[in-house]
């Protein structure tokens, strides 16, 4: 790379419409010139989850406004952009199609190169955008839609070490919150309630601990909370605030234990290059108890621990622009036949995961 590259990125694979501009300098850190995210929480609130059709329509309506805003905030026009990057999957297909069509329109109108980016690659490369983390590094993606360990060895080289075989942890936090009458999103509500709870009162399972490797399961844990709740309700005809706090604390510590132990196993599959780094991304990375456990496991392995700022851990378009800019050093652009993919495993050598979360395919 002989001169700075300025990429416009678009993201619309779930319930956030986003556009961003990122500049990659030949020998300096990447710079986020703008990052606009328009959420859709209000549109889906009444339905208890993301409604794909509503999401797709909202993306189609908002994408061009987000692009305009991103350009204005970066003090640029389209002519100052070198390439257009867009999430081409995995995700809710209507939303991904909206983004890909918008990006194709921009590329066709301006003659700029077009890059289709895997959404998970965007998350997985974020620690290089924020902290310039050297390859190879270990990545734990934990959100409402994703949960997997990746060994990241290059902008296009990902080895999937394991992941959830059913629910993503954020999905489990949200469902458990609903079960014990806490508000949505469930993660922050459970974390708060757990502070005054006794994590030892309920003995919840740690699923798949007896199985080797880094695969995880969270749906049985949710069922165990349901049974414990029902037993408490039956015993005293209702749930006290203390019951609620104890259930939240017991559930949270079970998730923490599973993630910590599976992270130890992921370290065993991470070649002993120095320096070693564990990175985390996704909304669940906001959880203090989970962060603390991951930091402790990193210390045990003499590894650095990197958690990008939350706005870049959750869905955004800066990660898509940055991933495309990094990948553009090693790959050719896509043409206008680029298609949207509901499923797109990062590591093609691994069998596809079953099931799809409320926020789209788990890939
Ligand atoms: O990455 P994200 O914003 O969206 C996608 O999943 O795409 O993650 C949202 C998820 C929700 O399920 C939410 O409950 C969870 O992250 N979350 C948390 C916390 N904050 C957000 N989970 C546990 N503890 C938290 N403090
Ligand atoms: Zn995501």
pLDDT in tens, 233-249: 999 888 999 999 999 99
The pTM assigned to this predicted structure is 0.91
pLDDT in tens, 296-336: 999 999 999 999 998 998 899 999 999 999 999 999 999 99
CATH architecture of the domain 135-311 equals 2-Layer Sandwich (3.30)
Is pLDDT of 170 > 80?
A: yes
pLDDT in tens, 178-231: 999 998 889 999 999 999 999 999 999 999 998 889 999 999 999 999 999 999
DSSP for residue 84? E
Q: Quote the ligand 2 centre to 124 CA distance (angstroms).
A: 10
Q: How many CB atoms lie within 10 A of CB 288?
A: 10
List the alpha helices (DSSP H) in the chain: 41-44, 52-73, 93-110, 119-131, 169-179, 186-194, 219-236, 241-268, 288-300, 310-313, 318-327
DSSP for residue 4? -
5-130+312-361 matches 135-311 in fold: yes
CATH T-level assignment (fold) for domain 5-130+312-361? Nucleotidyltransferase; domain 5 (3.30.420)
Residues 97 and 57: beta-carbon distance below 8 Å: no
What mean pLDDT do residues 87-99 have?
95
* Annotated domain spans of the chain: 5-130+312-361, 135-311
Is pLDDT of 267 > 70?
A: yes
- Which segment of 55-59, 151-155, 206-210, 315-319 scores lowest on mean pLDDT? 55-59
CB neighbour class for 351 (10 Å; exposed up to 12, middle 13-18, buried from 19): exposed
Residues 8 and 67: beta-carbon distance below 8 Å: yes
Task: Give the CB-side neighbour count of residue 303, counting CA atoms within 13 A.
Answer: 28
pLDDT of residue 15: 85
**Atom in ligand 1 nearest the alpha carbon of residue 282:** 1
What mean pLDDT do residues 271-297 have?
92
Instruction: Indicate the top mutation candidate among 142, 169, 184, 187 to test ligand 1's pocket, ranked by most ligand atoms within 8 A of CB.
Output: 187
What mean pLDDT do residues 6-11 have?
98
Highest mean pLDDT among 43-52, 245-254, 304-313: 245-254
Q: Quote the ligand 1 centre to 77 CA distance (angstroms).
A: 34
Residue nearest to atom 22 of ligand 1 (CA): 187
């Amino acid at each position: 790379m002989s001169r700075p590259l300025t990429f416009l990125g678009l993201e619309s694979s779930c319930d956030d419409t986003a556009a961003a501009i990122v500049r990659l300098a030949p020998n300096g850190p990447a710079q986020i010139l703008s990052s606009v995210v328009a959420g859709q929480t209000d549109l889906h609130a009444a339905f208890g989850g993301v409604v794909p059709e509503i999401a797709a329509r909202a993306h189609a309506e908002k994408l061009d406004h987000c692009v305009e805003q991103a350009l204005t905030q970066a003090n640029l026009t389209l002519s100052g952009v070198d390439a257009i990057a867009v999430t081409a999957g995995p995700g809710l297909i209507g939303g991904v199609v909206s983004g890909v069509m918008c990006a194709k329109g921009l590329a066709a109108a301006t003659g700029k190169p077009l890059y289709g980016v895997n959404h998970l690659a965007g998350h997985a490369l974020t620690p290089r955008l924020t902290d310039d983390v050297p390859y190879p590094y270990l990545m734990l993606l934990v959100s409402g839609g994703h949960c997997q360990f990746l060994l990241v060895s290059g902008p296009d080289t990902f080895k999937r070490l394991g992941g959830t075989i059913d629910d993503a942890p954020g999905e489990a936090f949200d469902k458990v919150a609903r079960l014990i009458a806490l508000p949505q999103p469930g993660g922050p509500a459970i974390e708060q309630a757990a502070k005054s709870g006794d994590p030892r009162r309920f003995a919840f399972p740690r699923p798949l601990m007896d199985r080797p490797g880094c695969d995880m399961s969270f749906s049985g844990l949710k069922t165990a909370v349901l049974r414990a709740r029902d037993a408490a309700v039956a015993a005293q005809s209702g749930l006290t605030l203390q019951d609620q706090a104890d259930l939240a604390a017991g559930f949270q510590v079970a998730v923490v234990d599973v993630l910590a132990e599976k992270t130890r196993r992921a370290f065993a599959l991470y070649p002993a290059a120095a320096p070693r780094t564990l990175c985390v991304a996704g909304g669940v990375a906001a959880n203090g108890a989970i962060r603390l456990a991951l930091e402790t496991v990193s210390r045990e392995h003499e590894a650095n621990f990197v958690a990008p700022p939350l706005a870049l851990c959750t869905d955004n378009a800066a990660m898509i622009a940055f991933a495309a800019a990094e990948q553009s050093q090693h790959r050719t652009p896509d043409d206008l036949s680029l298609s949207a993919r509901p499923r797109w495993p990062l590591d093609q050598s691994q069998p596809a995961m079953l099931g799809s979360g409320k926020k789209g395919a788990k890939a």
